[in-house]
Amino acid sequence: MNALLALSRVIDAINDRVGRTVYWLVLAAVFISAANAIVRKAFDMSSNAFLEVQWYLFSAVFLLCSGYTLLKNEHIRIDVVAGRFSRRTQTWIDVFGTVFFLLPIAIIITYLSWNVFVRSWNINEMSASAGGLIIWPARLLVPVGFFLLVMQGISQLIKLVAHLRGLGPDPNIKHDPAEAEKALAEAILRERGEKA
């Protein structure tokens, strides 16, 4: 189990790094969108390339951060039913959902989308819009994003099983950022009190 937990930590680190890097593309998309709107209104000019770049950036954030979202336990859940069960039963539900739903679907999408990307790469597929961009980078985002999701699903499964065996914390407990800030503020106040 120690080797699996080490693998889980490596996967978590990769998805954490990817997520923290890629979510900055939201800011880039906002700047490009604003610049495109200003140019369109001020100079009555527009570019399909700028519109497609916005689409590429949004796609990159959505797809490449899916593993990061699972890592941070911020994905959408339907807790109306599961929330009534004990934490242990909820963990078993997550194991079942990961094994029978998340992983099979994400693996199938990764496999099928890879073939779509390869075909697009081979023909150097271009946008049908005038002045548009090449398509294969956007097609590549799908298998890469779902591969990261598969890896994070495996990591979450390892952590869930470790938790069930009493070898680790519950990976589904959300950590409120406000609690961390509150703890930091209390530590600073204690330190100031000790120095005075």
- What pTM value is reported for the model? 0.81
Inter-residue contact 173 to 88 (CB < 8 Å): no
pLDDT band at 192 (very low <50, low <70, confident <90, very high): confident
CA distances from residue 50 to 8, 60, 63, 128 in whole angstroms, order as listed: 38, 15, 20, 14
Q: To the nearest 5 percent, what fractions of the chain are helix, strand and coil?
A: 80, 0, 20
> Is the pLDDT reported for residue 61 higher than 90?
yes
Short-list 175, 150, 148, CA closest to 14: 148
State the pLDDT confidence band at 157, using cuts at 50, 70 and 90: very high
Can you tell me the distance from the alpha carbon of 25 to that of 68, in angstroms, rounded to the nearest whole number? 14
For the chain, what percent of residues have pLDDT higher than 90? 53
Which of 64, 61, 97 shows the shortest CA–CA distance to 78? Answer: 97
Q: Which of 55, 150, 57, 66 is closest to 110 using CA atoms?
A: 150
pLDDT mean across residues, the chain: 87
Tell me: pLDDT of 108 over 90. Answer: yes
Q: How confident is the model at residue 14 (pLDDT cuts 50, 70, 90)?
A: very high
- With cut-offs at 50, 70 and 90, classify the pLDDT of residue 88: confident
Q: Which region among 94-108, 137-151, 178-192 has the lowest average model confidence (pLDDT)? A: 178-192
Which segments of 27-169 are extended strands (E)? Answer: none
**DSSP bridge partners of 134:** 126
Interhelix angle for 48-64 vs 25-43, to 10°? 160
